[in-house]
Amino acid sequence: MIGISLAQNTKVHHVKIEGMKFTPQTLTVNLNDTVIWNNKDFFPHTVTSEDKSFNSMGIPVNGTWQLILKKKGTYNYKCMFHTVMKGSLIIK
């Protein structure tokens, strides 16, 4: 029998990209949780942290990008194509 070991109590969270905004704009998650951004807008976007710790590059229309953060803290991010689009991840 083959087993797969998964971290206990981890969750998957979704951020929708639509209407030139991230929803929710601020998301609080636990360490090792997965965050998935779903681009439902009409053009590509990025998820780029201000401290340069992560960068999705271009997420195409109807595309997704996921991230698992391994360090606690607050990460502010924006779309590099549309810098008015901003969000925050709080990792506990």
**13: closest CA among 83, 80, 64, 84?**
64
For 37-84, the pLDDT digits (tens) are 999 999 999 999 999 999 999 999 999 999 999 999 999 999 999 999
pTM over 0.95: no
**65: closest CA among 15, 24, 18?**
15
For 2-27, the pLDDT digits (tens) are 433 455 689 999 999 999 999 999 99
User: What architecture is the 12-91 domain classified under in CATH?
Assistant: Sandwich (2.60)
The reported pLDDT for the residue numbered 9 is 85
Count CA atoms within 13 Å of residue 52 on its CB side: 0
Residue 1 reports pLDDT greater than 60:
no
